[in-house]
């Protein structure tokens, strides 16, 4: 069976912070985490509802750095319900938040948009701080990490090893503009050990002559379901999907993007119905390294599936984009 990791980058929005400040963290929680729109809630609580309706589990990569701005309760209110409902909490970090944090609360003077912008010793200090903040919020000690913006490098893997984490999933070969600088081949699809860490790449398909990553807003339901079935037929051991806590809200965060919402629901139902697919978590059944390389060809480009997705994206941007 192919293990499907439905991963949700769970994070506060810096755009809301810029307009509402530290005192507006409840508004930020409502928009970024709860996903409150005038059409209803579509954030992590809705996502967990849908997962559970289909007997699935999710992996929520939570960024705890905003605790240094909003206070620890801002992270505990995210972590506690995820843990209570039996889903997985792992570590995420957006270092952009550090520019808003009192320098006395951060163990290094450096600042940068991505964790890769920091030297190795600073990465070790920042990741140790983030891990401790996450555990203080109620999470079990994390085993896996994803860099904000996928902005990791080889030193990030060395830093993760130094603080005792085992897995990284920052490598996104299907995203052309990814800031990731981990030196692995773009052909990588299966987990592999590199620099003492098991790297689990974000999955991808072929589309219009290039790779396209398996994110809920990047692939149509037809493309994602076809890719999952292809992975199962090909004997792939894992397939990693990316989402965000606020991904189903429109770009203006005021309305639910009904197209993306329907995608998420259809994908979850398809996983439930496919006998050779099952969801997995890093805590209960982490990715293993295949005995033999299983880098089977990606799902080939399909004109009809791609065309339908482009129509969906155009309609979605018109209806739910920034006005």
Query: What phi, psi does 213 have (nearest 5°)?
Result: -80, 155
Domains in the chain, number? 1
Pairing of strands 40-41, 36-37: antiparallel
Residue 295 has pLDDT above 80, yes or no: no
Q: What is the pLDDT of residues 51-101, one digit of tens each?
A: 999 999 999 999 999 999 999 999 999 999 999 999 999 999 999 999 999
CB 202 within 8 Å of CB 169: yes
Q: Could you report the per-residue pLDDT of 94-140, keeping only the tens digit for each?
A: 999 999 998 888 888 889 999 999 999 999 999 999 999 999 999 99
Would you call 278 exposed, middle or buried from its count of C-beta atoms within 10 A (0-12, 13-18, 19+)?
A: middle
Compute the half-sphere exposure of residue 85: CA atoms within 13 Å on the CB side of its CA.
23
Tokens of 178: 């990814």
Residue 323 has pLDDT above 60, yes or no: no
Helix (H, G, I), strand (E, B) or coil at 25: helix
pLDDT band at 251 (very low <50, low <70, confident <90, very high): confident
Query: What mean pLDDT is predicted for residues 157-184?
Result: 96
Q: How confident is the model at residue 313 (pLDDT cuts 50, 70, 90)?
A: confident
Whether 266 and 221 have beta carbons less than 8 Å apart is answered as yes
Tokens of 196: 């003492």
List of E strands, the chain = 2-10, 36-37, 40-41, 58-62, 88-93, 144-147, 167-168, 192-194, 197-199, 204-207, 210-213, 238-244, 277-279
pLDDT band at 322 (very low <50, low <70, confident <90, very high): low
Higher pLDDT, 144 or 320: 144
d(CA 255, CA 277): 32
Distance (Å) of CA 46 to CA 13, 42, 91, 273: 18, 5, 21, 20
Q: Which of 62-71, 200-209, 279-288, 294-303 has the lowest mean pLDDT?
A: 294-303
Q: Tell me if residue 235 falls in helix, strand or coil.
A: coil
pLDDT recorded at residue 316 = 85
Query: What would you report as the CA-atom Rg of the chain, rounded to the nearest whole angstrom?
Result: 19
Task: Specify the DSSP class assigned to residue 237.
Answer: S
pLDDT in tens, 176-233: 889 999 999 999 999 999 999 999 999 999 999 999 999 999 999 999 999 999 999 9
Give the domain range for residue 133: 2-320
Does position 49 have pLDDT exceeding 60, yes or no?
Answer: yes
* DSSP, residue by residue, 147-183: EGGG--BHHHHHHHHHTT--EE----TT-TT---B--
pLDDT of 292 = 62
pLDDT at 308 over 80: yes
For residue range 4-45, list pLDDT tens digits in order: 999 999 999 999 999 999 999 999 999 999 999 999 999 999
Distance CA 43, CA 40 (A): 10
Helix 258-273 to helix 44-53 angle (10° resolution) is: 30
Question: Is residue 118 within 8 Å of residue 99, measured between CB atoms?
Answer: no
Is pLDDT of 283 > 60? Answer: yes
Least confident range of 195-199, 277-281, 294-298, 307-311: 294-298
CATH number at residue 311: 3.20.20.370
């Amino acid at each position: 069976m192919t293990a499907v990791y439905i991963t949700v980058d769970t994070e506060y929005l810096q755009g809301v912070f810029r307009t509402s400040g530290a005192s507006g963290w409840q508004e930020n929680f409502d928009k970024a985490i709860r996903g409150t729109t005038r059409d209803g809630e579509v954030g992590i609580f809705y996502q967990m509802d849908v997962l559970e309706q289909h007997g699935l589990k999710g992996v929520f990569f939570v960024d705890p750095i905003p605790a240094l701005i909003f206070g620890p309760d801002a992270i505990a209110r995210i972590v506690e319900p995820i843990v209570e409902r039996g889903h997985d909490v792992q570590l995420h970090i957006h270092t952009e938040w550090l520019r808003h944090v009192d320098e006395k609360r951060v163990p290094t003077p450096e600042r940068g948009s991505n964790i890769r912008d920091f030297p190795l010793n600073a990465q070790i200090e920042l990741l140790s701080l983030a891990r401790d903040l996450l555990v203080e919020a109620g999470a079990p000690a994390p085993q896996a990490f994803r860099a904000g913006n996928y902005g990791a490098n080889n030193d990030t893997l060395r830093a993760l090893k130094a603080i005792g984490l085992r897995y990284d999933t920052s490598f996104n070969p299907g995203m052309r503009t990814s800031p990731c600088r981990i030196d692995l081949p773009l052909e990588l699809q299966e987990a592999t050990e590199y620099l003492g860490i098991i790297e689990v790449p974000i999955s991808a398909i072929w589309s219009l002559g290039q790779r396209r990553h398996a994110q809920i807003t990047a692939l149509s339901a037809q493309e994602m379901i076809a890719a999952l079935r292809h992975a199962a037929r090909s004997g792939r051991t894992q397939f990693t999907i990316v989402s965000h806590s606020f991904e189903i809200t429109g770009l203006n965060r005021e309305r639910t993007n009904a197209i993306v919402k329907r995608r998420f629901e259809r994908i979850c139902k398809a996983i439930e119905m496919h006998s050779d697919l099952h969801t997995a978590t890093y805590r209960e059944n982490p990715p293993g390294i295949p005995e033999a390389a299983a880098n089977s060809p990606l799902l080939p480009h399909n004109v009809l599936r791609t065309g339908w997705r482009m129509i969906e994206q155009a309609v979605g941007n018109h209806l739910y984009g920034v006005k």
